[in-house]
Amino acid sequence: MSKICEICGKRPAAGRSIARRGLAKKKGGVGKKITGVTRRRFLPNLQTVRVSIRRGVTKRMSVCTKCLKAGKVKKATPRKFVPRPQA
C-alpha cells in the first residue's frame, strides 16, 4: 500500500530534523549550537475510507484527512443487514 492520497496525490515529503544544544541568548546563554542533522520524512495523514462512486458503487480508497474535511469525497452509506430466509 503506497502512501499517496488517491484524490489529491499528496505523498511523503523529505525534510531534516535538527538537534540543538545550549541555552538561548534570550535566556542568558551563549546561543544554541547545531549538533546533528538527520533526514526524516513527513508522511500524509491517510485514512482508508469506503467511498461511493457513481450510482452507488462503493470502493475502498486511501484518502488524506484534508480531502475528507474539504468534502472532496462522498463516504459510502453503511451496509444494511438483511437476514437470510429460513429454509
Q: Which residues contact 42 (CB under 8 A, 6 or more apart)?
A: 12, 13, 14, 15
Domain that holds residue 52: 13-70
Residue 57: inside a domain: yes
Q: How far apart are the first and last CA of the chain?
A: 43
Q: Count CB-CB contacts under 10 A for residue 67.
A: 20
pLDDT of res. 29: 96
Residue 76: inside a domain: no
| Average pLDDT over every residue of 60-74 | 94
Task: Tell me the pTM.
Answer: 0.71
* pLDDT grade for 53, boundaries at 50, 70 and 90: confident
Round to whole Å and give the CA distance between 87 and 81: 18
Residue type for position 64: C
* Bridge partners, residue 20, by sequence: 34
Residue 85: inside a domain: no
* pLDDT tens digits, 1-39: 689 999 999 999 999 999 999 999 999 999 999 999 999
Number of domain units in the chain? 1
pLDDT of res. 1: 62
State the CATH number of the domain containing residue 47. 2.30.170
The DSSP output letter for 75 is: B
Percent of the chain with pLDDT over 70: 99
